[in-house]
Structures are given as C-alpha cells and as structure tokens.
Amino acid sequence: MRFTSTALGVFSLLGFSLPSVYAANATFFPLMNMTDSAGDLIQAHGGCIIQAGNGGGDWYWFGTDRTGQAADAHFEAVNCYKSADFSTWDFVGPVLTPIPNTNISNSSVLQRPKVLYNDKNSEYVMWWHADNADYSEAAVGVATSKTIDGKYEWKGNFQPFGNQSRDMTVWKDPDTQVAYLIYATNNNADLSIARLTDDYLNVSKTLYTFHGVYEEAPGVFKIDGKFYLVESPQNGWTPTNNAYYVASSMSGPWSKSTLLAPDTAYTYLTQNTYDIVINGTSQQFYLYLGDHWNGNQLATSSYAFYPVIHKGNSLSIHYTGGWTLDAATGVWTDLPYELITAKMSTTSRKTLVACGDGCAGGKAANMTSSTNFSFTWNGSAGAKVLQIVYTYPGPNNDFQQIGVTVDGKAAPGNALMESTLGTSFGQMAPFPVTLKKGSKVVLNLLDYDGTAFLVDAVRVYDSPTAAPPGY
C-alpha cells in the first residue's frame, strides 16, 4: 500500500537517490541518529540553529558534546556544525571548551547553549545554563566571538538579578533586535522573561513571570506580530506534553497554554530545543527542533525536526515519519512510504491481537521474547528507513530495543522504542536497512520486560543516504 502526500504528487523515490527536483533538499527521519559529512554522529545537544548576522547564508548548529557520556556529566565542549541547506552538516569544531580551575572547567555543567548576533558590537554572544555537579550554582554563562564559528571567549557566570537560573534560552526579536532571556527560576517553580541589555551581555529588566508552572526548555516563534512561547513541563529526561503560550508582547499578558501535539503523545517523544523561522523565497516556514533524550546513555540521544503548522493563533507539530525541506524556498513535503500492517504481514496469526481504531489495520503483533513481526519486501531495492509503529506503556524514560534481521542476517544497530508512559498513543522509531526485492525482514524484541509491547505496522521509506555508522 503506497502512501504519498498531496504535495509530492506523481513523484516517487527510486533506489538510493531522490528525484532531481528534490536532490538538494534536506531529508528528515525524526529520532534517527544524524551524522555529519565525515560520517560521525552529530553531537550538538540542547542547542540552536541560526544564520550568520541577521539572517541569510549558511546555517550554524551549536550544541553540547556528550561523546562517551552515559548519565549527565561534565562539560566537554560546545560544538559547531555548518550547512547550506540542512541536508549536509560539516563539523566546524568545538567553539567553547573547558577552562581549568574556573566554573566552566571540565567538572562543570554546561547545558542549552544559544547564540545571538549583536549588531551594536558586531559580535556573537553565547548564553547557556551554567552549573556545578550538584546543581547548586544555578546560573547563566556568557561568551562572545567576533565570528559566528570562531572561538568564544568566556565572560563569566552569574545569576540574573541574583535569581537562580537553570533551563533557559535566549531569543532575539528579528524586527526590533531586542533580545530576551527566558529561564526557570525559584527552585524551578517559575519561568521568567527578562530583557537583555543592548550589548546582550546582561539582563536589564524582568518583563513577566509565570509562577508555579514548573516548566523548562523554552523557545520562541514570532509569527504575524504575535509571540509564541514554547515550553516543556519538567520531568527529568522523560518526554512531556510540550505546550505554548501566545501574547502580543513579550511582556504579556500571555494566554493559557495549549498543547503542541495530542495529549499523551508526549510531543512524539521529544523535548523542545530550538524553534526556527525560515524565510524562504516561496513561503515562511516554521521548524521545530527537539531533543530525544536517552537519559541512560546521553551520547546516543538523537534529534527530531518537525514542520510546525500555524493557523490563526494556534501552532501544532506535523507528525511524520519522513519528510523533505527545501530551505531556500521554505517548501516542504511528506515523503511517500509503503505501509505494512501487522494484519497484512507474514507475522504468525497467533501473535496478532486486536488493537482497536487507534492502529493501522486493527491488529498488532504482541511482541515478546519469543514472538516477532515479519514481512517480505516486494518493493524496490536500496537503502530504506523502517519507521516501526508501536505502543509501549512502560515506566518513565524506559527503552526497549528492537533488532532487525534481513534474509537471516542481523542488520547493524537497534531501534530504541521509548515508553509511552502508560498510554496507547502510537509512536514511531526508525531503523535504517538495505533491502532487495524479496527480502525477508524480521523484527525481534531484544529485552522484553513483560510489559505489553505492540507493533501494529512498519512504514518503509526510501532513503537518500546510507545508514549512520554503527547504527
């Protein structure tokens, strides 16, 4: 069964390559590990993506390097990557590194680095959540560079207005060049908005405080003169129902919060990281970048790029397993896929259980240590991405692993299926493979814990690239 978006129309994907009309487009498979042009995993967690100056030209992705880290650990570096079109990312290198015997040493905590361009001083200013190992410092850090991808000079850490600051972001109004700090404070109970000084090196005035909300991971869109403040409820490394407020001014008053995704979808297992406006030649496009945290193995945490739909005064994330973006024009489209439901698969009928209207085909494979989901691939040969559609109502931030065999041989890596926190919302987890016509594909649950684990379908997408190394 072939599914396409209306926008894609008669175009199809052939083999390893996209059609020429989409050749320069960026292709996204949310939650799949992303690699740079050298084939290394992108290490830019909790970061931001901006263009140089006040927009135009290449895009720069900043974020924390968590190479080799299992749990939350020391500061290694803030990395920078560069791309012309979101399709290929070149590793520029670390732009901020530890300084011994300071509070940005390699025993310090540095999270959520964000970079702004300051017109007054013709320099780039980086802000971050600065802390120590026991999170008692609760401060912000500031560094500057005259070039966007140069070495950033640390200016110091401080608490804004003498207040605690943990999860945070900084954001610059593209129309006024006024910049703001949004930060969790008062033992994480409050979320506060402050205006920055004209040089972006300090705070000048508190504009608004949300009291008793326990929110983090803030971000801002400005659309048609209105401000949309995105936030995530606090729950450790576990995905939550991200939401947003709306106002005509950063000073408020702000509306009540509205969910970005369906209730209990947990923002498709992501947490807001940065919100990007692309001023394309054909249309303005709104892009959500979320972190998919693996709290037990932070170095393997992945990312999710999703289109954001703006209608009236509302925002919503467009849920998709694969899509393309032409960053020059702002035009995007869902990719087509072949849908293989449990009911139409070669999975043993004894394994199938009813799964109601919420799943494809009304049946799902009840996966255990001794049962699987299988199918025969009858489509074109080449690189593919399997988006495994599943429900797993396990405990918070719990992961199950699915391994894939193709024609009796284990494909490298495994898909991480995160719990849906006791709900039945169907999530998707990606697995890159190479298939030939007639390939026998088997999905096996590698670490069954006794919790009901249902796979109701697999979406098979053509992939323009090979699988990430070691995935």
Query: Is the pLDDT assigned to residue 128 strictly greater than 60?
Result: yes
User: For position 8, what pLDDT does the model report?
Assistant: 30
Query: Is the pLDDT assigned to residue 371 strictly greater than 60?
Result: yes
Contact in structure between 416 and 401 (CB atoms under 8 Å): yes
User: For position 465, what pLDDT does the model report?
Assistant: 66
Query: Is the pLDDT assigned to residue 202 strictly greater than 70?
Result: yes
CA distances from 242 to 178, 294, 340, 341, 392 (A): 26, 17, 30, 30, 20
Query: Is the pLDDT assigned to residue 18 strictly greater than 70?
Result: no
Share above pLDDT 70 across residues of the chain, in percent, rounded to a whole number = 93
- Report how far residue 80's alpha carbon sits from residue 44's, in angstroms, rounded to the nearest whole number: 7
User: For position 14, what pLDDT does the model report?
Assistant: 25
Choice among 25-29, 71-75, 191-195, 204-208 with the minimum mean pLDDT: 71-75
- Per-residue pLDDT band for 85 (boundaries 50, 70, 90) equals very high
User: For position 24, what pLDDT does the model report?
Assistant: 65
User: For position 442, what pLDDT does the model report?
Assistant: 98
Query: Is the pLDDT assigned to residue 43 strictly greater than 90?
Result: yes
Query: Is the pLDDT assigned to residue 456 strictly greater than 60?
Result: yes
Which CATH number, 3.50.50.60, 3.40.50.920, 2.115.10.20, 3.40.1390.40, labels domain 27-335? 2.115.10.20
Average pLDDT of the chain is 91
- Per-residue pLDDT band for 395 (boundaries 50, 70, 90) equals confident
- For 147-183, write each residue's pLDDT tens digit: 999 999 999 999 999 999 999 999 999 999 999 999 9
The domains of the chain are located at: 27-335, 338-462
- Per-residue pLDDT band for 354 (boundaries 50, 70, 90) equals very high
Query: Is the pLDDT assigned to residue 76 strictly greater than 60?
Result: yes
Query: Is the pLDDT assigned to residue 220 strictly greater than 90?
Result: yes
Span 129-156, average pLDDT: 97
User: For position 343, what pLDDT does the model report?
Assistant: 94
User: For position 21, what pLDDT does the model report?
Assistant: 34
Closest to 170 (Cα-Cα) out of 147, 203, 144, 131? 203
Span 438-463, average pLDDT: 93
Looking at CATH, the fold of the domain delimited by 338-462 is given as Jelly Rolls (2.60.120)
- Per-residue pLDDT band for 20 (boundaries 50, 70, 90) equals very low
Question: Which neighbouring-strand residues pair with 428?
Answer: 389
- Per-residue pLDDT band for 126 (boundaries 50, 70, 90) equals very high
- For 176-199, write each residue's pLDDT tens digit: 999 999 999 999 999 999 999 999
- For 308-320, write each residue's pLDDT tens digit: 999 999 999 999 9
- The dihedral through the CA atoms of 391, 392, 396, 399 has a sign that is negative
- Per-residue pLDDT band for 4 (boundaries 50, 70, 90) equals very low
